[in-house]
Structure 1
Amino acid sequence: MPGRKAPEEYRRKDILRAAYDVAARHGVEALTVRAVAGRAAVSHGTVLFHFNRRDQLIASLLDSVLDATTTLRVPADVERLTRPAERLRALLRAEMERLSSDPRHYRLFLEYWALGVRNAAIRRRVSEALHGYRRAFRDVCEALTREERAVPRPSGTRMNGRLAPTPDGLAEVAVSLVHGCALQAVIDPKAFSVQQHFGSAARMLDGHAAGALAR
């Protein structure tokens, strides 16, 4: 009936939020229709109306988890930066802080990754999401390497004795640093410092990427 679509969409979102709460508290394996219905304060049938079976509920929650952990968020202040090196630095810091601020997101990401060992569909979706995350970083990395190539150097020389980094290589390192930060924040939140991680990561890239992230 006309007019019922919007309320049902809101109800579906409420159920997904409840599913997230259940999974974040007790793990993905505890994600049952009954548990989600109880958390959302709706009937068992209402959950099944929106999600035909438990597998569909788990798959839909995966969309939310991947959006939170593998979608690059570019803050407005970072968007305004014009120098590629400064922009990459700022993106790394912003993503490290974002993913580490709520460890539940990354904990669920790790759970789904583990499920993907035995579930080809989940494994494929996680892999595709990570590929998209690297591709998002690649744009700024490409601008950075293009700027580095424009610096005049004697013919045939290498940057600081090393081969110049590629956009794909820098993007892979960037994602590894961001997700490595989130992983350590989950495993050892009391002892781990995001700021120290960022500072060390930036200095490491300064050396190994031949000054690509230098100020």
Structure 2
Amino acid sequence: MGGPKRPEQERCDAILAAAYELALTEGLDAVTARRVATAAGISPGLVFFHFQSKDGLLQALLDVLLDGTLDALTDPALAALAPWDRLERMVRGELERLAEYHAGVELLFAFYFSRRDDLFRDRIEASFGRYLEAFLPVCREVAADGGLSDSVSGDDLAATVVALVQGASIQAIRNPASFAPEALLSTLRAFRPVA
């Protein structure tokens, strides 16, 4: 393929973008070096040069999907909010991201359910663990401030919030047109004691 040589990072980004589009439209099995190279406008050898194998390419694609998972939860502006308000804002951000990026969420589920080997599962499980860890501090603050009944701990609230968001992700994939973040937020608000 002729033309000017692109910088390495630009080539990697183009390869991953092509792999992402191909995986979204045709599934993970369609992501081959030849098809990705054609879509990226490069030679198949460059795909192997950068990612060594199909599994290497798929791992890099999975990492791209997982890297954005915690972005909304670590926004520095959240620190100024009271614990319940911070928690609601974090959940709202996640639900809005599900609505906007449901195709990427669907691809993440495809990785989880179709690539059963430890190479992929371990990465996903570690990311789920980091996701729960991102909610734990604020949920513990809510509990410490007396914002929960005595029988519910901050850890319980964090597990419930993560389950709510994970369940919402399935709803966003199954029927994005009827996905209703406000209805789910009202469920979270039901946990909040009346002031």
- 1:38 is aligned to 2:53: no
| 1:138-193 C-alpha deviation (Å, 9 max, x unpaired) | 011111111118xxxxxxxx93xx51x22221111111111221210110112222
Q: Report which of the two structures shows the higher radius of gyration computed on alpha carbons.
A: 1
CA distance in 1, matches of 2:173, 2:166: 11
Once the 2 structures are TM-superposed, how far is the Cα of residue 100 of structure 1 from its aligned partner? 2.0
Greater helix fraction, Structure 1 or Structure 2: 2
Letter in 1 for 2:60: S
CA distance in 1, matches of 2:173, 2:62: 19
| 1:78-112 C-alpha deviation (Å, 9 max, x unpaired) | 3431x101110111111111122111111011101
Counterpart residue number, 2:65: 65
CA distance in 2, matches of 1:34, 1:28: 14
Secondary structure of the residue aligned to 1:42 is coil
Aligned length: 190
Measured on the aligned residues, the alpha-carbon RMSD in Å equals 2.2
Gap regions ≥5 residues in structure 1: 1-5, 150-157
Aligned residues of 2:99 and 2:179 also touching (Cα < 8 A) = no
Counterpart residue number, 1:8: 8
CA distance in 2, matches of 1:124, 1:146: 33
Alignment equivalent of 1:130, drawn from 125, 128, 131 = 128
Once the 2 structures are TM-superposed, how far is the Cα of residue 72 of structure 1 from its aligned partner? 4.7
Once the 2 structures are TM-superposed, how far is the Cα of residue 14 of structure 1 from its aligned partner? 1.6
| 1:171-210 equivalences in 2 (<5 Å) | 171-203=158-190, 205-206=191-192
CA distance in 2, matches of 1:12, 1:69: 20
Letter in 1 for 2:43: S
| 1:28-59 C-alpha deviation (Å, 9 max, x unpaired) | 11111111111111111111111111110011
Counterpart residue number, 1:53: 53
Give TM-score, length-normalised by structure 1: 0.80
